[in-house]
Amino acid sequence: MIELPEPPRLSVPSTTLKTSYLVGEQADMKHRGSDASWLKAASLDFDAFVAERTGVRERWGVASELFWFASGEYYLGSLVIRHELTDDEGGGHIGYHVVYPWQRQGHATRMLKQALVKCAGLGIERALLTVAPHNAASIAVVRRNGGVEDRINSEGEMRFWIDTASA
């Protein structure tokens, strides 16, 4: 296993992570059997790619912010915080993923913990997360961070609420 140079943290997207980001996302897409063609445009103009993902932007009809989870030169995953819920509450406040090479090492748990602190700073007292019922790893991550199951939403996903003050 690679020894990381420092504890990973959420940070704004950065051009300094170009190679690690592109390799990590490509490995993740291949592992999932997903289309990775979007990475071509990102690789050709990474500065513009990063610029489009930096700062508070309207996504899904609400203000949201994208973060990368990284340690030094190593990109480990991405996380988005929606500053408010969408009308249908689909996706909740926080969405995250750890790229395949870095999965099952506790990074998602630490990433979500840091996101809950950011949510508290935004005045979000209870964060909603939604998880596919077959995603046991993500369910465990949410529960480790204090997630309390609510119900199944209209998209068939499990809903969990987390008190951000406990983060």
Let me know: does 55 contact 64? Beta carbons within 8 Å.
Answer: no
Residue 80 identity: V
User: Which structural domains are found in the chain, ordered by start?
Assistant: 9-166 (3.40.630.30)
pTM over 0.75: yes
pLDDT at 24: 96
Please report, rounded to a whole number, the percentage of residues in the chain having pLDDT higher than 70.
100
> Cβ(85)–Cβ(92) under 8 Å?
yes
The pLDDT of residue 33:
93
The average pLDDT across 17-45 equals 95
How many Cα atoms within 13 Å fall on the side-chain side of residue 161? Answer: 10
pLDDT at 20: 97
Joined tokens for residue 36? 């990775």
Instruction: Please state, in angstroms and rounded to a whole number, the distance separating the CA atoms of residues 143 and 137.
Output: 10
**How many other C-beta atoms lie within 10 A of the C-beta of residue 102?**
23
Strand (E) or helix (H) holding 84: none
Burial class (CB in 10 A: 0-12, 13-18, 19+), 155: exposed
* pLDDT reported for residue 48: 97
In tens, the pLDDT along 101-158 reads 899 999 999 999 999 999 999 999 999 999 999 999 999 999 999 999 999 988 899 9
3-state secondary structure of 141: helix
pLDDT in tens, 70-100: 999 999 999 999 999 988 877 899 999 999 9
Report d(CA 107, CA 110) in Å as an integer.
5
Alpha-carbon span 146 to 166, nearest angstrom: 8
SS3 content of the chain, % helix, strand, coil (to 5): 35, 30, 35
